[in-house]
Amino acid sequence: MSAAVEKSVAIVGGEQQPGAYSAALREFPELRLDSVVGNAFGIESPNEATPRYRDLEAMLVERGAPDLALVMTPPGQRCEQIQQILRAGVDVLAVPPLATRAEDAESLVEFAERAGRELTTASPFRCSAGFNHARRFLREDTIGELQYVEVNLEHKVDARAGWRAEPERSGGGIWMQQGSCALDIAELLAGPLRRLRMVEIESQQNSSVEDRTEVETDHGGGVRARIRLSWNGRSRRPLALCVGTRGELAVGYSQLLLRIGDRLERHAPGHDPHDTLVGSIREHLNRRCAAHPPLDQGPERLHWLEAGYRSVSGNRWVSS
């Protein structure tokens, strides 16, 4: 996708970060928000008259196919909608998870390949300057040999409201919705995932899906991580904590904190959500231009999400 030619973009679905992604689009002069499908709120567009449509079919009939669709509908509807978009000859950038079942995610990737279209599952944390800065510290053995990693994605969400409380639309609770991003962080910091087990899962809000879970991951070489996900409010824990033989490294939204013995150092940047969404869009554009882009990680992440749910029975370690 050339930066010299203007491309039209449709935002499909308003359930997950439509306003944040529309703000990220403004960083790309070659991308023009052309239409919005669904009840998306918080959309920032230089054109207040951007057409809005109830469904994809209405948009495709009246407006025609855009060059790129940003898909953020509930996961249970995502597979069918992405396939419809790909069939129309449109490239797709989808928020994770790509689907609610690994076999559906694999079929989407295969369908995109046959159609000659680019399908990318967004991985914002992989595009985070803060987390990539932390990764460089770890590669340089700044805190010594890595022993343990914590990942904490905790904020307030009503798990009883809207599509999240409907398992057929959501595919599951917080593990299904945020597990992919949490695993991205764990692998960025601790290396490739070997196996995992879900040690806690509960619905503190008495919803039909889980709103809190803890997962242990094994990355080989004696390195393990603990993932904490919660929709019950933010704690004082950092986004990620890396513990080494000589010190600790904490990743926050504003900065990195490096502790070696009694010495505490503050480093910038931290994790900037806006910049990471910009990075996800740029990653998609780069993949579109690449002769042989790497395999999309969407199906692999679904295999691990399914493995996490399977591990609950017997509290056992499982692989994907």
Using pLDDT thresholds of 50, 70 and 90, give the confidence band for residue 291. Answer: confident
What would the mean pLDDT of 37-48 be, rounded to a whole number? 67
253, 270 in Cβ contact below 8 A? yes
Give the pLDDT of residue 2.
45
Is residue 169 within 8 Å of residue 277, measured between CB atoms?
no
Fold of 7-124: Rossmann fold (3.40.50)
Burial of residue 49 (number of CB atoms within 10 Å: 0-12, 13-18, 19+): exposed
Residues 6+ apart with CB under 8 A from 293: 118, 286, 287
What is the per-residue pLDDT across 225-253, written as a single tens digit (0 to 9) for each?
A: 999 999 999 889 999 999 999 999 999 99
Read off φ and ψ for residue 219, nearest 5 degrees: -110, 10
Half-sphere exposure of 217 (CA within 13 A, CB side): 29
Residue 17: the pLDDT is 79
Residue 14 has pLDDT above 80, yes or no: no
Which pTM was predicted?
0.93
- Tell me how far apart the alpha carbons of residues 186 and 149 are, in angstroms, rounded to a whole number: 7
Residue 3 has pLDDT above 60, yes or no: no
List phi, psi (to 5°) of 151: -125, 125
- For 215, phi then psi, to 5°, come to -130, 135
Position 239 scores a pLDDT of: 97
pLDDT tens digits, residue range 81-96?
999 999 999 999 999 9
Percent of the chain residues topping a pLDDT of 90:
86
**pLDDT at residue 181 tops 50:** yes
Given the DSSP bridges, would you call strands 256-260 and 263-267 parallel, antiparallel or unpaired? antiparallel
Residue with tokens 């992440």, as numbered in its chain: 301
**pLDDT band (50, 70, 90) for residue 4:** low
The whole-number pLDDT of residue 112 equals: 96
Residue 310's H or E segment, with its range, is helix 298-311
Tell me the CB-side half-sphere exposure of residue 92, using CA atoms within 13 A: 33
Asked whether the predicted pLDDT for residue 1 surpasses 70, the reply is: no
Each residue's pLDDT tens digit, 103-136: 999 999 999 999 999 999 999 999 999 999 999 9
Average of pLDDT values for 248-274? 95
Average pLDDT, the chain: 93
CATH architecture type of domain 125-275+303-311: 2-Layer Sandwich (3.30)
Nearest to 87 by CA among 59, 115, 63, 61: 115
Residue 45 pLDDT greater than 70, yes or no: no
Domain boundaries, the chain: 7-124, 125-275+303-311
Quote the CA–CA distance of 280 and 56 in Å, as a whole number: 23
